[in-house]
Amino acid sequence: MAIPLTQNSIEDSVVTMRRLIEARLSDVVPSGQTWPARLHEAQRHALLSPGKRFRPLLCVFIAQGGGAETGALLDAAISTGCVAEMVHAASLILDDLPCMDDAELRRNQPTTHIAFDESTAILSATALLNRAFGVLSRLDAVTPEARVEMIDLLSYAVGSKGLIAGQMADLANTDQSASIAEIERLNTLKTGALFDFSVESAAILSGMHASQRAALKDFSYHLGLAFQLLDDVKDSVMSDDEAEKSVGRDIGKATILAVAGSEASKAKLNDYLASAKAALKRAELSNLDTLTAILDHQFAFLRA
């Protein structure tokens, strides 16, 4: 019989896993003293800046809930979660550039192009993306077939039908007459693609069956929509200090908040989150309590 988890034991397990993730992130990129030092300092500036590590935590705990509880497969899940964080960091570097959102603050520190320069920022983002594929290719505990599937997933998540497509669409996102469905499609590309990679890779690592993978795909879809809408709401009501990043970058863009208004947006956000939790429950993972606690912590702003 499974021992019921207490809130303290859940928090302890999350804190412990976050420490393992932080240590792995520090290991997967060269030290700041490695030549060319400025490039590697910039990579570490972006990658190791204080963050919630939401994507890696999701990847690891979903893999655990599917059966990759200990040993080499759990270690592979940690590395895979770090791959998601590397791609996320690279995307933030590019998103903050003057030719994109022109932001000066990210995670309560200067953005990479401000702390270094634009050329170094672009090269460090490119280096992080390339290194991410290298980490996946060296997951020795994972079958070659699974590695190829995960590498393909990542290429899709990052590529012209994923993150990059989302960023292109976001740069042209000024049509205030856009429908909610059109905005959701953009948000799915911009934010959901990397959640898809994190969640689907965890399912691959733990050998989940088709019905579990289908439920997790639904979970990832609604989570991406909820996460982006939460970010839009925060952008409209928080200061730079509260958000720990430059805010006000969505002014003039067609967001759900701009189109539907504050109250309707918060209701939709709660609907997205409820749908995500319902899908997660259908996946029948062994650690639903832990994953629910991680979600609740990430969306605590809704209860403020």
Q: Is residue 57 part of a domain?
A: yes
Q: Please determine, for residue 2, whether its predicted confidence score (pLDDT) is greater than 50.
A: no
Q: How confident is the model at residue 243 (pLDDT cuts 50, 70, 90)?
A: low
Q: How many Cβ atoms sit within 10 Å of the Cβ of residue 5?
A: 16
CA-to-CA distance for 70 and 63, rounded, in angstroms? 10
Query: Most confidently modeled of 8-12, 71-75, 181-185, 243-247?
Result: 71-75
CA-to-CA distance for 159 and 132, rounded, in angstroms? 14
For the record, the structure tokens of 91 come out as: 């995307």
Domain residues for the domain of 112 are 9-303
For the record, the structure tokens of 6 come out as: 């207490």
Contact 189, 157 (CB under 8 A): no
Q: How many Cβ atoms sit within 10 Å of the Cβ of residue 136?
A: 21
Q: Is residue 2 part of a domain?
A: no
Q: Is residue 203 part of a domain?
A: yes
Burial of 134 (0-12, 13-18, 19+ CB in 10 A): exposed
Q: Point out the least confidently predicted range of 30-44, 241-255, 257-271.
A: 241-255
Q: Is residue 199 part of a domain?
A: yes
- Cα torsion 157, 197, 274, 241 to 10°: value is -70
Beta bridge pairs of residue 245? 106
Contact 158, 89 (CB under 8 A): no
CATH number at residue 272: 1.10.600.10
Q: How confident is the model at residue 251 (pLDDT cuts 50, 70, 90)?
A: low
CA-based Rg of the chain, rounded to a whole angstrom?
Answer: 19
Q: Is residue 1 part of a domain?
A: no
Q: Which long-range contacts (CB under 8 A, 24 or more apart) does 298-303 make?
A: 298/52, 298/54, 298/227, 299/226, 299/230, 299/273, 301/230, 301/233, 301/234, 302/230, 302/266, 302/269, 302/270, 302/273
Give CA angle at 297 (296, 302), nearest 5°: 65
Q: Is residue 183 part of a domain?
A: yes
Beta bridge pairs of residue 106? 109, 245
Q: Is residue 226 part of a domain?
A: yes
Contact 103, 121 (CB under 8 A): no
- Which runs of consecutive H residues, i.e. helices, occur in 96-192? 112-115, 118-137, 144-158, 163-171, 180-187
pLDDT of residue 284: 97
Q: How many Cβ atoms sit within 10 Å of the Cβ of residue 261?
A: 10
**Which residues fall within 8 angstroms of residue 126, CB to CB, at 6 or more apart?**
90
pLDDT of residue 212: 97
Q: Which helix (H) or strand (E) holds 46?
A: helix 37-47
> In the chain, how many domains are there?
1
Per-residue pLDDT tens over the stretch 136-151: 999 999 999 999 999 9
Q: Please determine, for residue 19, whether its predicted confidence score (pLDDT) is greater than 50.
A: yes
Q: Please determine, for residue 106, whether its predicted confidence score (pLDDT) is greater than 90.
A: yes
User: Mean pLDDT over residues 18-39, rounded?
Assistant: 97
Q: Is residue 179 part of a domain?
A: yes
